[in-house]
Amino acid sequence: MNISVITICFNNKAGLKRTLDSIAQQTLKPFELIVIDGGSTDGSVECIKQNEHIISYWVSEKDNGPYNAMNKGIERASGDFCIFMNSGDIFYSNSSLEDAETQMKDGVADLYVGVASMSDGVRETSVVKPPKEISLGFWLYHSMIHQAAFMRLSMLKEKLYDENLRIVSDWKYMFQEYTSREYRYQPLETIVCSFQIGGISSNDSERIGEREETIKTTSQMLYEEYLRNKTLKSLYYNNIQLRDDLGMILASRKLTSIFCSITKAISRIGIFLRR
């Protein structure tokens, strides 16, 4: 199994150095490293050049934001799976990639997600474990930690990230893959990454707005169920008994709608015959 690590950067030399140092120390060999820089002017390019011995491909040019840069990385990558470790993010330990790859040997899933360590820049503040199973309810109210996710690259190449979104395009990709076709998932036990809380993704109002608009455009009925069940958000993480609740609700409402349509049609036929 081949793994591609994709790193994007823009004017974050210190963060980029931290990330590349972490990648260079990984015990897994070989793996592919793609670096996409957005035309930095703060010395990031020099940092990239100093690490060319571990980089498979890099470019520094103006882009149209983070997801445009990520898509460039996806198009250049050639592994079976890819993981994004962007400037400032680091692998939790030197063996994180190797430990994850060992657990991914079967290669049957399309999405593998490990544990993520979150910090405030000084100390570890929390550890986020992946859900045991994923469901419609999970995707409506939660998301995966991007830096701990290994995604099947061939599927990403078929459907790149939506560059019109600023924050939740990675969630949108996973959500729509799950709702549109079979999307096999497997949690990993290893701690994959360590990342600092903050940045653009911490803008709750914009993040929620983008998510809700995505759900609404995907399905009006699904959006209505999302609004009705927002108070149950915490139940849709690792509770196996509730994992199919929303799917059952939607299926039930769809069948009810079909039944009502059939009943109305039979009623119309009856009226016509009596005439």
Which residues on neighbouring strands pair with residue 231, listed in sequence order?
A: none
H-helix or E-strand containing 222? helix 220-228
Question: Cβ(209)–Cβ(163) under 8 Å?
Answer: no
| pLDDT at residue 197, as a whole number | 72
What pLDDT does residue 262 have? 53
The mean pLDDT of 58-86, rounded to a whole number, is: 97
What is the rounded average pLDDT of the residues 35-62?
98
Provide the pLDDT for residue 239.
41
d(CA 128, CA 135): 18
List pLDDT tens digits, range 157-202. 999 999 999 999 999 999 999 988 889 999 999 999 998 776 555 5
> Which numeric CATH code is attached to 3-242?
3.90.550.10
Angle between helices 220-228 and 204-218 (to 10 degrees): 130
My answer on whether omega of the bond before 130 falls inside 30° of 0, hence cis, is: no
How much is the mean pLDDT over the chain? 86
Structure confidence at residue 16 (pLDDT) = 97
CA distance 29 to 20: 15
7-43 tens-digit pLDDT: 999 999 999 999 999 999 999 999 999 999 999 999 9
Packing angle, helices 245-274 and 220-228, rounded to 10: 120
CB 104 within 8 A of CB 34: no
Q: What is the per-residue pLDDT for 236?
A: 57
pLDDT attached to residue 195:
83
Q: pLDDT confidence of 125, banded at 50, 70, 90?
A: confident
